[in-house]
Structure 1
Amino acid sequence: MSSKHLQTQLIHTDYSAPEGFATFPSAIHHASTVLFKNVAAMRSGDWKEKNAYTYGLHGTPTTFTLEARLAEIEGGAHCLLAPSGLAAIAMVDFALLKTGDDVLLPDNVYNPNRELGKWLSADFGITARYYDPLIGAGIAELIQPNTKLIWTEAPGSVSMEVPDLRAICAAAKARGVLVALDNTWSAGLALRGFDMGVDIIMQALTKYQSGGSDVLMGALITRDRALHDRLSMAHMRLGMGVGADDAYLVLRGLPTMKLRFEAHDASARKVAGWLKARPEITKVLHPAFEDCPGHEHWKRDFTGAGGLFSVLFDAKYTEEQTDRFVDSLKLFKIGYSWGGANSLCVPYRIQAMRRNWKDAGTLVRFNIGLEDPADLIADIEQALAAL
């Protein structure tokens, strides 16, 4: 019988569960405070080396496991987790850029990344310039002595142009400039970014890795240890961390990710092919289709396409009419993001988003979920009648 008072017994126990428990799911380790065996262990642990546990913010077995698995999927060596994809993007910028530096972003970049670029320019003295996503080797002419980072997105998550990553990376390496890739569209499954010459891969794990439309998380993956260390310092200084329960949800989604991605891909091609024959639609912006800008790069570098694509409505339809089309959909819900089981649809004012956009007509982006594609086509057909 314990000699401790009841209140103390409620906090301190001599019991330890027996070792040897094994299951398929990874264990969930909740922690802010991490306990050390003794003072020597406390002083010898190095959070940067990940050879010991020092504080919950710097990792637990749950987050270390997720980082290792994400690095394996991308063919990388190191991984850092962030509370969202945008947080991961910001971590790259604050790790690698300082006042007087220059960063290049594609004109079709994820809009929060564009807004972050504007903020860097307005408040931090870092110039952010935007380039044609199909510029390829021509980006060499834009690289200045103070250019430190080039962002890429393959493809653009709204207008779907597929860049020539190999050419951009070759031009950047010749001038000693780092290249970061937003590889969320392919989930690291259909594009091997490091093989293209990319230095940093960003993933929004909110999408296919989770698959449940219920997690916000991002990741940065690298091969180079010195670059990883620079990102790690920003990770620490900005206080980036993710909860164990969210990390577990992403780990739970990984075993089925490839199967889900392929199902999204197959259904999306069916729906996109049907839309291509509709008179209301002037363009289907799907990288696997030959007339999508940059298709030749997709064909050379990618092995799949996932569930996200966009279309352009005939310019004779007003914004009011295309809004009515979106509102009339029943299976498709209105919402951002992709990679979940439920299909989504969002109209964009693309002419206001892009500097040199030449096409007229409303752009509407579809995320094809895991519903039967025949039902999705029927839903689109009845909504087109509302035009």
Structure 2
Amino acid sequence: MSSKSSSQGLATRLVKGGTSPVFEGGRAVNPPIVRASTVLFESMDALEDARHRRNNERMFTYGARGNPTGFALEDVVAQLEGGYRTRLFPTGLAAISMVFMAFVRPGDHVLIADCVYQPLRHFVDTFLRPWGIEVTYFRADGSDLAQQMRPATKLVYVECPGSLVYEMCDLPALAEIAHRHGALLVADNTWGSGMQYRPLVLGADVSVMAATKYLGGHSDVMMGTLTTTQDAWQPVATMCDAQGVAVSPDDAYLVLRGTRTLAARLAMHERHALEVAHWLVAHPAVARVYCPALADDPGHALWKRDCTGTNGLISFEFAKADPAAAARFVDSLDLFGIGASWGGFESLATVAKVANTRTCVDWSNAGPIVRLHIGLEDPRDLIDDLSQAFARIGDGL
């Protein structure tokens, strides 16, 4: 302690002490959690220089513009996605919303794949359309995209594989169509996590993910990510700064920690899910298993060409059952939690109401569909649980 600080009052020492700890030795494996709203500079010149540069460079200038813990996660996600830069958001839906606020204006036309995450449809109805942005849905496989393009089309939004039943699309072909008409291609890559699927490498301009899912991996943190090519970056950066978009450094740390085991966890999810999927394929009560990694899936060839693996998500359709049978089946499970999210270490089950989330293809004649997320439990135990659930609903099939 300096002689100057020793002469200061206790209240002053409590405020000023311990703000710059000095230690000898090595460094921590992970970056520290930097909790900060105010950021201090050595001089007014340094402050003004940082303010001048921060619109084009990533600078630590104020908490609402990001923090070093978040910056570390941004770098990891940008590498994972094969993109230029990444911004972080409090939720996956917030990242999706930013896509439209950054790139679309009243009078523009947007094309959205029929298989997208259902809350995006709610965003379309509550924000985009009331604000004068026209939206058209196209088939999940993209087969009608070229016919739907207009001079006013500014953005094409896909989710591949699609929500709930995992339709594949030919993303490079869709990118070519979009770019030929002067539109951006945006992909929801939550299923792919940057490990199994990389939309930016396949031709997309923007990729969004719910880091809440596999990147976090432990069902205890909410976050979204948005990664772009270099050409598409500036509108995102400008709009994020204008809106003060930032995430908690504690949340960023949790997701960053989750990424360290992402490859190992996904390998287990894939192995376990495929074991369960093949068991379901052979079950007499099952009409179809939805998983693009299965050889008879309609999107298998595209999955094999564009993906490097699958994850824990599979859905199955009952061969014959009354509409309430799916709910009774889920209620009969013991090891599967009942929940709408996925991507954590635990197995989950829910009823997939596909007919309610599609407008281009009629799913009303499909049997009841259950979506499973296969976690890290022993797959033999999960199969036993599924087997007893089939048996318990018995005559309902």
- The percentage of aligned residue pairs carrying the same residue is 41
Q: What does residue 375 of structure 1 align with?
A: 381
Normalising by structure 1, we get a TM-score of: 0.96
2:97 is matched with which residue? 90
Aligned to 1:185: 191
Shift of 1:239: 2.2
| 218, 221, 228: which one aligns with 2:224 | 218
Q: How far apart in 2 are the matches of 1:15 and 1:183?
A: 40
What residue in structure 2 maps to residue 198 of structure 1?
204
Deviation at 1:211, TM superposition (A): 0.7
* 1:362 maps to amino acid: P
**Paired position in structure 1 for 2:41:** 36
In structure 2, the residue corresponding to 1:271 is in which secondary structure?
A: helix
Tell me, yes or no, if structure 1 residue 135 matches structure 2 residue 162.
no
Measure, in 2, the Cα distance between the counterparts of 1:349 and 1:385. 23
Q: CA deviation at 1:7?
A: 1.5
Matched-pair contact (CA < 8 Å) for 1:160–1:292: no
Q: Aligned partners of 1:272, 1:9: CA distance in 2, in Å?
A: 63
Shift of 1:121: 4.1
List gaps (5 residues or longer) in structure 2.
none
User: 1:353 aligned to 347, 357, 377, which one?
Assistant: 357
For residues 113-192 of structure 1, what are the structure 2 equivalents within 5 Å? 113-136=120-143, 138-192=144-198
SS in 2 for 1:383: helix
The residue that corresponds to 1:57 in the other structure is: 64
Compute the displacement of 1:15 (Å).
Answer: 6.6
Q: Indicate conservation of the 8 Å contact 2:78/2:227, yes or no.
A: yes
Question: For 1:116 and 1:16, how far apart are their aligned partners in 2?
Answer: 45
Separation in structure 2 between the aligned mates of residue 373 and residue 342 of structure 1, nearest angstrom = 12
CA contact (8 A) 2:60 2:66 kept: yes
Q: Distance in 2 between matches of 1:331 and 1:189?
A: 27
CA distance in 2 between counterparts of 1:85 and 1:40 reads 38
The number of residues matched between the two structures is: 384
Where structure 1 has 5 or more consecutive residues not aligned to the other structure, the ranges are: none
User: 1:325-356 CA distances to partner (integer Å, 9 max, x unpaired)?
Assistant: 10010000110122111100010222222222
1:235-274 CA-to-partner distances (Å, cap 9, x unmatched) read: 1222211101111111111121011001100100000110
| Matching of residues 7-22 of structure 1 within 5 Å | 7-13=11-17, 16-18=20-22, 21-22=26-27
CA distance in 2, matches of 1:353, 1:202: 20
**Where do 1:90-109 residues align within 5 Å?**
90-109=97-116
| Residue 253 of structure 1, aligned match among 250, 258, 278 | 258
Contact kept in structure 1, 2:113 and 2:142, CA below 8 Å: no
> TM-score, normalising length from structure 2?
0.93
Q: Distance in 1 between matches of 2:233 and 2:41?
A: 26
Alignment partners' CA distance in 2, 1:145 and 1:83: 34
- In the alignment, the residues of structure 1 paired with residue 31 and residue 20 of structure 2 have an alpha-carbon distance, to the nearest angstrom, of 19
Residues 82, 219 of structure 1: 8 Å contact kept: yes
**Partner SS, residue 230 of structure 1:** helix
Mean CA deviation greater in 265-274 or 344-353: 344-353
For 1:156 and 1:212, the matched residues in 2 are separated by: 23
Q: Could you tell me which residue of structure 1 aligns to residue 370 of structure 2?
A: 364
RMSD value, Cα = 1.5
- Secondary structure of 1:319's counterpart equals coil
Letter paired with 1:264: H
Distance 1:38 1:357 in 2: 64
Q: 1:30 to 1:103 in 2, by over 3 A?
A: same
What's the offset of the Cα at 1:157?
A: 2.0
Query: 1:344: which partner in 2?
Result: 348
Offset of 1:64 from its aligned partner?
0.8
Q: 1:135 to 1:52 in 2, by over 3 A?
A: closer
> Does the CA-based 8 Å contact 1:26-1:251 persist in structure 2?
no
In structure 1, give the amino acid aligned to 2:167: E
Aligned residue identity for 2:247: V
**Does residue 1:228 correspond to 2:233, yes or no?**
yes
